[in-house]
Each structure stands twice: as C-alpha cells, then as structure tokens.
Structure 1
C-alpha cells in the first residue's frame, strides 16, 4: 500500500514538474525576425506600395471574415462569434482605435500576435487566431499589413468578452496548449517550391487548413492536412487533389467558385460566403490560378455518371423531389442559370457526411449577391414541411441519384445532423 502511494505520488510530482516545464517553455519569449523596413525612412512611393501590399495581405488573409462587425459596422471592429466546442470566441477590434483596437501596437506587436499568438503584455490569444498557419507569414507581409491597418478608420467599439467554459476560460492555460501544439515562427521561403504562391495563399495567408483539416481531442490540427472537417455545424470538405478530382472539380471551376462564388459544383454557403465577400473575390486572377494549381496539380477528367449506383431509387424521395425541388432544379437536376444551382454535379450530395445537405434543405439559403455580378435567388427552408423520415428519404434520393452514394440516410442521421448544426 505504501509502495503504491509512493508510486502515485511520484507520478503526480512528475506530472506537476512536466506541466511546469511546459508552461515555462511556452511562456518564454519567442524570437521574431526584425522589421523588414525602417518605417520612418520610407519614401512616399515606398509607403504607397507597402500600403497596397498590406491591403492585398488583408484580403488574402481574410481578416474581415472574423473581425467584422456582425451588426453591419466596420469590417475590422470585431464582435463576430466563432463557435467552438469549448465556447464562443468573438473577433476583436483591429482598427487603429487606441482605446479598444490596435492603435498602440507596433509592427513587432502585430507580427508576434499573428505568427506567435501573443498580444502586447504577453496575453495569449486563443488559437481561433490562426497562428498555427500564420506562423509562416513573411515579416515583409506582416509589416505591410500593419501599415495598412494603421491607415484605416479607427472605431471606438469595445471588444466583446469571450464566452468560454471552464477550464478554457483560463487564458494563461493556453500556454500549455501552445507548448504542445504551437509551431515556431518560420517565415515562408519560396525557394525550391514548385508553386510557392499557391502554397503561400492556401496554407499560410488563406489558412484553409484551419477549417478543412481534422482536429484532435485538444482541438489542434492533425497531420491530415486539408482532409475535411466538421466545424461550426458544417462540413468543410476534403480539399486534397484526389478528393477534388473525384467530385468533378477542375481549374476553371475552382477559379469560378473562388472568384464569383458559384460553379457547376455549387454555391458559396455557410462560413465560405464571408470568405468570398471579404477575400477570394478580391484576389487577382494569377492568385486564383496559383490556388487551383496548388490544390490540383493535374486535371484528370472524372466521369461522375459512372459512380452513380444503378439500384432503384426511393419512390418516396423521388416524389418529394418532384414536388418540392424539380420546379427550380429541374427533373434532371440541371438547375437554372443565375437562379438555382445544378444538382446533377453538385458537390454537397457527394459528401459521406450528409450534414450540409440536410442543413441546406432544412434552413434554405437567402437570396444574396455573390460577386462580380453573380447572384442567386433564395431557396426556401423546408424544415417545417418535412418530417425527419421524409427529410431522410429526400436526402437519400439526392445522394444516390447524383452523389454516388449507395446507402440510405436514416431519420436518426437527420436528427444528428440538425443537432450538430446547432
């Protein structure tokens, strides 16, 4: 008994020491690269070019999608909720307001926050700030972003307090997470990379992996880069080349989706719509080409019709489709240009997880302007019209007829999808 207690005590002591070491190592000052320019010595031309670069960095990094005001105010004044399993985190004010924003921040302060996740005064940022991706931002781009941010209109809007559950509301404990999962700053080096611009846009500035990569029990990114993940109640799909090819994507369709918000495979919905509005629709064509080439180095042709099962389809699902959907999407799923999306090549029906399809049918999609003159009419919500069993029949029909799926979705799966969405 005494021996067992000694072993337990020793293990507890080792755990405490280990935790202390982790906290200590995470709390050490992280070395950062020096500023890329002497801001006081910039010529007018250099100043203007740096601001232009900073605006591009802000767009490519999609700052506004998280830091905008949900009540329609400034794109940078904060307040937008990001829902996690540990609670809600609210985007902060990143205007140059001295009281509530970053008006007193130096270029070093911004780089440290973006690439390391530490705000002035040593305050740890939650990894909702994607420093696990931004750790490879170049110092030049961080400095350009700082200069651009400092030219924006200051908004004296207080930050909203995060609503995190215990123990995640103990901000210093983030040091423990950082010690385990935070990468060291490693500014991106384009040398020797076959598509450096595409990699930099997707993996660093665009931080696509933060949504599209699975996470472990500690909510850290796993090594399955871009393999798909359910986040904030929606499936962020697998973006690896084989998966994109299997769903019928090509460079032209990816370009259209990122530029206008619409392609034969579908329309921007959920968290991707703000990404379109604030980021990808503003990128120049060469950037979109680089992204498509990085995600899909080759462009093989996929015959989507060949993957559709030949088994008999649900008569109940077909009746529901004919009554509720065919009027807009057509009997053959061809849709209508600028009005209703195609279903015969729609990506949403191809996912193994039906959560997105269930949500779109249940919640509908509001009428909205997309980008560059493209728009989409409203799709009505059918949650109040369909039982879980009917929803399951309709979803099964769509997935089997056009999604290449052979299994039936059950009413229990519909309930689970709706529960995960809320």
Structure 2
C-alpha cells in the first residue's frame, strides 16, 4: 500500500509518497465498482466506511491497481535502482489475495512490515511510516479491504538483482532504517496539529519522497523532509524545510488547504505525480483533516538551504545568451497564459514570478513541464483544470533551456541558467 509520490511546476508540492505510478479509479463514493455487496450490520458498515476513508488517506489504490485493471489486484511494476518490484494482490481472494488473512495479520504487515507467513516486506511498501497507524485504524482498513470484490489473479514475482532478491538481507536494512511504533501525540501541541502529524507522518507517508534516499535505499534521517530527486522517476520532491523550495512558512492556511484539496490555489498548482496524489487521495479527505495537515506542514521548522542537487552548469556568458533567447520564446509561447510580467492568472494559470518551485536549485520539474506539459488534477473543487501544453516537439533542447532559464531568472526570480544537456537527458524520462 504505497503511493507514488508528487510534484509541482508552479507551486510547491506539499505531500507525496514513494516513487511508483498511480492508477486512477473510476470515481464515485467507493474505490471499487460493480459486484454485489452482501448486507452487513450497521456498526460494520460504519467500520467499512471509515476504513475506506483511511485507505484513501493512505492512497493504497495508487500502487495496488494497474491502470485499467481490477482495483487492488496488484501487478503494478515499480522500478527501483535494485530491480523491478510488482505490487501484490490485496483483494480478499483466498488463493492469491488476503482472503485468509486475519486483522492481526493485516496489522502486522503495516506495523512491522511482515507478511502473513512472517516474511519480510520490501520497504517499497511504506511500513516505516505505516507503523505509526493505530490498531483501531488498521482494523477499519482491514474491514474495508475485506469488503471489496475478490480478484483471482496471482501476484507477479519480483525481478530483483542478486543480492537484493534475498529477503533475509532486509534484516540489516531494518536495523539501520526502521523504528517500530504507533504515533504518540505531542502533549505540547494542539489536537489539530497532532492529527495533521499523524496523517502526514503515518498514512500519508510523505517523507518517502520528500526525504533524500541513500545508496542503500534508506532515508537520510538527518535531512527529513529536506527534499530530493526520486530515483528513476526524474521528478524532484521539493524540500519542506526550506521556504526557498516548498517550505510553507509564508503561506496562508487557506492557500495550503486549497492546494491539497483541489490541486490549485492562488499561489500555484500541482502537476505530475503530486496531481495524482490529490486526485486519488487528498480531494476525498474532510476539510478538518486537510486543515490539520496544513497546520502541521506550516509548522515544520525551516532550516535555510535545501540539499544541493547534481546538475549540469553553464558558463556565465552562455547563460546570458540563453536568457536573451528565452525572453523571445516566452513572449511567443507563454505570455498569453502566464502574462508578460509572470504573474499569470491564478488559479487557472499559475504565477511564475517569485515562485519558489521555479527558483529551486534543481531545475528538473520546470524542464519536464515545458517538455511534457501536464494538467493539475481534476477534482470536485476544480473539475475542469486548465492544462499546460507540451513543447517537446516544437522546441529544441537549447530553446527549452533558454525559456526555462528566462523564467528562473526574471521578475525577481533568483534561479540559475539551465543547460541544454540537462534538457536532453530529461527528454527520455518516463511521463508517469
């Protein structure tokens, strides 16, 4: 039950998960569609309803559903530096799913990262965050998972290189990077803050994308929420601890709420993986929970500079040439929506001027948006989002570098020039 994680061109990306492609469900009030549902007692109905809400908060559908496939039937390929993992079938099928699991088995899987047979789960399943989920919430989620239609489809074996295909080696990884324990409220904080912390640090597993990963695939704990490039996905998850990136210290709560709930706000919009997080999960959360999450996010201590990222650099002279060329390209292709002064027409067309996400040291996200375009999520609060057209076919690597350089260095923005080589490398990056 892991979700992929997201990000924005024209706004900060404030909550996401690990790197995996998300599948969209067909809509409505339940994850699943079709199939008869047996009558259940009223108290069980409420438990299932609560479990469905919590499963949405954890964005379980994102990894356990292949686009166009059966809900929760698994099989989604998840590329990692160590090989490809395939997500399991978690429908209540007795043969291939969790039909024979008990609530204790389910709790052990999310709390301890162990399957029914005791085998260790790979940390692509975010048990390092889910361990904070309470037993009551786990039981509600299990009740919901038991209520969805079973799918008789076998889980596909992982394709991991040796020695990463040896599960017993995970013992060492767990010693280094896993601490078991349910969430403990901070008595010095408000009830709302604690609820937000529980959702962000637990079910939301936001740190899986917004924290750098070391060569062993473990989080750099000293840089929690400090941002980082998601391996193999080539999207940058901005730092939540720096106001120069996605830190929210100077944001109004209403703008954070709007971004999380609808995908757009007066300060910007979310694109890429983060748009899928909003579509799949956040738009269905209550206003109270969204506000609690915003309260916690806004309170994260700011640490100044975000971690440095590796990228090609240009000379000062070539950067100046790109800037001049980019101004002409921007006027011809971008100004109609984002305005000559870069202020845009929010929330339909996000502002680019004085926008942290444009000025981050990593230029990955704005380059990808110019190349591939994209849409904010379609949500109840923003059912017909305005999109960003792709320019990969009409602009060369140098032209893309020029217009991104212009955007990063104009209207008071303090970004740096972008190299055409970096644009070339990102042309082949996966779209999801």
TM range (shorter): 0.7 to 0.9
Query: In 2, distance between residues paired with 1:298 and 1:157?
Result: 43
Query: In 2, distance between residues paired with 1:212 and 1:290?
Result: 19
Equivalent in the alignment of 2:372:
363
| Cα distance, 1:45 vs structure 2 | 4.3
Please provide the CA RMSD for this pair: 2.7
Equivalent in the alignment of 1:386:
395
Query: In 2, distance between residues paired with 1:280 and 1:334?
Result: 27
Equivalent in the alignment of 2:165:
169
| Cα distance, 1:53 vs structure 2 | 2.2
Q: Are residues 90 and 299 of structure 1, via their aligned partners in 2, closer, same or farther at CA, if it must alter by over 3 Å?
A: closer
Equivalent in the alignment of 1:190:
185
Q: Are residues 44 and 272 of structure 1, via their aligned partners in 2, closer, same or farther at CA, if it must alter by over 3 Å?
A: same
Q: Deviations over 1:14-47 (max 9, x none)?
A: xxxxxxxxxxxxxxxxxxxxxxxxxxxxx94432
Query: In 2, distance between residues paired with 1:250 and 1:172?
Result: 47
1:56 and 2:53 correspond: yes
| Kept in 2: contact 1:266–1:347 (CA 8 A) | no
Query: In 1, distance between residues paired with 2:103 and 2:373?
Result: 44
| Cα distance, 1:353 vs structure 2 | 0.1
| Kept in 1: contact 2:278–2:377 (CA 8 A) | no
Equivalent in the alignment of 1:74:
70
Query: In 1, distance between residues paired with 2:58 and 2:264?
Result: 21
Equivalent in the alignment of 2:237:
236
Query: In 2, distance between residues paired with 1:403 and 1:291?
Result: 30
SS of 1:143's equivalent in the other structure is helix
Equivalent in the alignment of 1:5:
none
Worse overlay, 186-195 or 120-129: 186-195
Give runs of aligned pairs for residues 8-407 of structure 1, distance below 5 A.
Answer: 44-70=41-67, 72-184=68-180, 186-190=181-185, 192=187, 194=189, 195-223=193-221, 224-231=223-230, 232-240=233-241, 242-243=243-244, 244-245=246-247, 249-297=251-299, 314-336=323-345, 339-365=348-374, 369-402=378-411, 404-407=413-416
Query: In 2, distance between residues paired with 1:88 and 1:250?
Result: 41
Query: In 2, distance between residues paired with 1:202 and 1:190?
Result: 13
If asked which structure has higher relative contact order (CA below 8 Å, sep 6+), I would say: 2
| Cα distance, 1:263 vs structure 2 | 1.9
Worse overlay, 266-275 or 208-217: 266-275
TM-score normalized by the length of structure 2: 0.78
**Which runs of 5 or more structure 1 residues have no equivalent in the other structure?**
1-42, 301-310
Q: Are residues 225 and 327 of structure 1, via their aligned partners in 2, closer, same or farther at CA, if it must alter by over 3 Å?
A: same
TM-score normalized by the length of structure 1: 0.80
Q: Deviations over 1:284-329 (max 9, x none)?
A: 01111111111113999xxxxxxxxxx9892201001111212332
| Kept in 2: contact 1:344–1:402 (CA 8 A) | yes
Query: In 1, distance between residues paired with 2:161 and 2:63?
Result: 21
Q: Are residues 234 and 406 of structure 1, via their aligned partners in 2, closer, same or farther at CA, if it must alter by over 3 Å?
A: closer
Query: In 1, distance between residues paired with 2:71 and 2:188?
Result: 34
Query: In 1, distance between residues paired with 2:376 and 2:117?
Result: 45
Paired residues, what number? 368
| Cα distance, 1:246 vs structure 2 | 7.0
Query: In 2, distance between residues paired with 1:402 and 1:197?
Result: 39
| Cα distance, 1:408 vs structure 2 | 1.6
| Cα distance, 1:228 vs structure 2 | 0.5
| Kept in 2: contact 1:114–1:131 (CA 8 A) | yes
| Cα distance, 1:403 vs structure 2 | 7.2
Query: In 2, distance between residues paired with 1:95 and 1:255?
Result: 32
Q: Are residues 171 and 283 of structure 1, via their aligned partners in 2, closer, same or farther at CA, if it must alter by over 3 Å?
A: same
| Cα distance, 1:266 vs structure 2 | 3.1
Computing the radius of gyration from Cα coordinates, the structure with the larger value is 1
| Kept in 2: contact 1:258–1:276 (CA 8 A) | yes
| Kept in 2: contact 1:338–1:376 (CA 8 A) | no
| Cα distance, 1:159 vs structure 2 | 1.9
Query: In 2, distance between residues paired with 1:389 and 1:87?
Result: 33
Equivalent in the alignment of 2:7:
none
